[in-house]
Chains A and B, each alone.
Chain A
Amino acid sequence: MIERIPGAFHPFVLPFVIGMVFVLAWCLAGMLRILFELPREDRRKFFVSLITPRILWKDIKDIFLNCLIHVRLWKRNKVLGYMHSSIAFGWFMLILLGHVEVFLFLPHRVRFLYYPIFFNFFVAEADATIQGEVLMFLMDLFLLLILSGIVIAIIKRFRSRIVGMRRTTRANALDTVGLYALWAIFPLRLLAETFTAHISGGSFLTEPAGQLFHRFISNDMHILPTWWAYSIALGIFMVVLPFTRYMHIPTEMLLIPMRNAGIRIRSARKGFARLEYFSCPGCGVCIDACPMSVRKENLKDCTVYLNRQLRRKNEPRIEEISDKCLLCGKCTAVCQVGVEGPELRMALRGERKYALTPDYGRIETSALSAPLAERKAKVLYYAGCMSQLTPSIRKATAAVLDRAGIDWQPMDPDGRLCCGRPLLTAGRTDAARELMAKNREIILASGCDTLLLTCPICYRVFLEDYDLPGIRVVHHSVFFQELLRDGKLTPKNTPVEPRFVYHDPCELGRGCGIYEPPRETLDALGTLLEAPKNRQESICCGGSLGSLSLSFEKRKDITLGALGNLTAARPDTIVTACPLCLNTFARYADRPVKDLAQVVLENTTD
């Protein structure tokens, strides 16, 4: 390879250079801003993570697997996975190989930002070397890979159902500019390299194409315009990038190391939260996933639109979207980037100003804990508000515990305090902390070693937000499975095995990662069937306390949608492990809905 253009410069590189410098400056400024917005301890955590080899290795691995190969997307949808990884990984390889070429053949030009990108314009083939052949072959191969991805992208834009997406986001004007620029970049590169293939050399793609074109275009006048067009397309893409959804590309590369460093959302708009809503690629996978999407009017209330409105600072819509959400967490479960929609919304709800602040000063914990401390049982059973409302669960749990010979006592026999999770999800964090401190005092004074919960809402808050040293917090779905495993409960012999389908409550499944213990229990007691959408993909019952503004009537369609999923396998009984799901389903279900505690009681013997 020898240099063809003296001085290694041509004005056509300018659009690219301007775009590149702009986008680099923008990303650097954005990164500094986010670092500056982080609380001091989070910032320190981040810097420490960067010099911890284990976390650093995880960062590199995650960035490679998620940003370039899109492993999570592959698992979800092969066509979309191929489309994204072909473009991202292919483009990365083109840039990398471009640099390798410059290093190998013209190492003194490596300091020019644009040289590896427009390499084929600046060089002429002197004598074919084996390394050159291999590199050119690889360059053509990756270009072909990208072009195949672009073809799928174009099909997806106009017929999203072909690639398995029912709904996708409507792109706004700038997004469209960025999209068309992105589509244009690679065909233009192919053309540009094709026209210069007889000078700089090419491989299986560019060389035959170049010969083909030379049959009817015999002069070289069109070389320069195509390189100009290629450079302009790159320039346009990079200049609009910060204002489009493509900003997710650089943002995600910062999000991954920060998440690996253990940083969480603390403020709704700044720092890590800003990183999350700018990392949203706007793909719209969460639209189909959102249980509220059964009603057309809710289509624009899923996380992808929350992120969009947060970027636009559209306050009325931000409030509406953050109040409506059921906080079921399915958008996070399906999100390719892992944007935490529920946590963002809880932080946004926390921004509200209320003239009246809750005050629980009149609640005396000593009076509540005295009888518990006197009785002193090993297992303390906290039913919580929702199980109080469903006595069937409370009674069944009590009977199962007695049957298994457990030393237990109820913490709230006549209805006591709320666990604090509803206040937390409503954004009233200080009030929740006050209530949690009171519950903590009562639990510690009771002298128990296990806290048993039948409500996943309570379970999650006791697990995540309470500090209960030496006390095991356990949900009844896990506890009963252990009792069966240890032989303290014996399954009843029934002539016909009951057919169960299990509904994963949001807070228990996606919230706390408990999927298998309830299934093992049901499998031991009868035949367990699976709903088409289960585990991480389970559909919220619609009764969630997470939503502040969704009215009773508007929840009905969500419940019916979830029931349709559960009854697809024709079970005799729908089983769940959450009093709220039980209450909600029982209202509209065409067959019995039971809690796990009831099923365990009915299908075991003494």
Chain B
Amino acid sequence: MMEFGFSLSPSSAVDLDKVDTSRFDRLVEMEPQARICIGCGSCSATCTAEPYSGMSVRKVLLGLQRGRDAEVDRMLAACMLCGKCTMVCPRGINTRHLILSLCRISGKGKEGKA
């Protein structure tokens, strides 16, 4: 098959009425900057972990608001905290701190303590 550099995603539907956004709300409480992301994709373009997991901060923030928690966790676990996304973010979001905060409240039910 010809390689075009992209692949097809399996079809999926998000029912926004049924999405549990409590994790995103909690994140916004901890990191108000999560709200100022414009989804430009600079972080997606530079992410060191992207080739291995599809990770990018933009997708993480979007995934949280769409209830795609498992995907978010998988992406977060691949982050190497290298800081490239922080360097390129046009909104000046402290993405590393955002990721660390998210790692505290993520996972299966248990919450990290300080």
Contacts and interface: CB of A to CB of B under 8 A. Distances in A.
Q: Do A and B come from one complex?
A: yes
Interface of A: 315, 319, 323, 352-360, 362-363, 385-386, 388-389, 415-418, 420, 422-423, 426, 428, 431, 435, 543, 545, 548-553, 580, 583
29 contacts: A323-B97, A352-B100, A352-B104, A352-B112, A353-B104, A353-B112, A353-B113, A354-B100, A356-B73, A356-B76, A356-B107, A359-B78, A360-B52, A362-B52, A362-B53, A385-B82, A386-B83, A388-B84, A415-B48, A415-B51, A417-B80, A420-B80, A422-B80, A422-B81, A423-B81, A543-B87, A552-B94, A580-B87, A583-B87
A549 B114 contact: no
B88 A389 contact: yes
A543 B76 CA distance: 23
A363 B114 contact: no
A420 B79 CA distance: 11
Given A415-B48, A423-B80, A551 B112 contact: no
A570 to B, nearest CB: 29
A394 to B, nearest CB: 14
A553 B107 CA distance: 31
Given A352-B112, A352-B114, A552-B92, A545 B48 contact: no
Nearest to A425: B81
Nearest to A414: B51
A428 B52 contact: no
Contact of B103 (A323, A354, A362, A580): A354
B79 A358 contact: yes
Contacts of A353: 104, 112-114
B105 interface: yes
A-B pairs, top 3 by smallest CB distance, nearest first, are A552-B92, A355-B107, A418-B80
Nearest to B107: A355
B48 A417 contact: yes
Contact of A389 (B80, B84, B93, B107): B84
A185 B106 CA distance: 58
Interface in B65-87: 73, 76-84, 86-87
A549 B77 contact: no
B58 interface: no
A399 B89 CA distance: 29
Nearest to B81: A422
Given A426-B100, A553-B92, A356 B77 contact: yes
Nearest to A360: B78
A545 B96 contact: yes
Interface residues of B, number: 38
A435 B80 contact: yes
Interface in B20-53: 33, 46, 48, 51-53
Contacts of B102: 356
B59 to A, nearest CB: 16
A515 B112 CA distance: 42
B83 A549 contact: no
A315 B83 contact: no
B77 A418 contact: no
Nearest to B93: A552
B110 interface: yes
A201 to B, nearest CB: 63
B111 interface: yes
Contacts of B114: 315, 319, 352-353
A385 B103 CA distance: 22
Given A354-B104, A356-B77, A545-B96, A389 B46 contact: yes
Contact of B48 (A359, A362, A385): A385
Given A360-B80, A415-B48, A549-B94, 14 more contacts: A319-B114, A354-B103, A355-B103, A355-B112, A359-B77, A385-B80, A389-B88, A415-B51, A417-B80, A418-B80, A423-B81, A548-B94, A550-B94, A583-B87
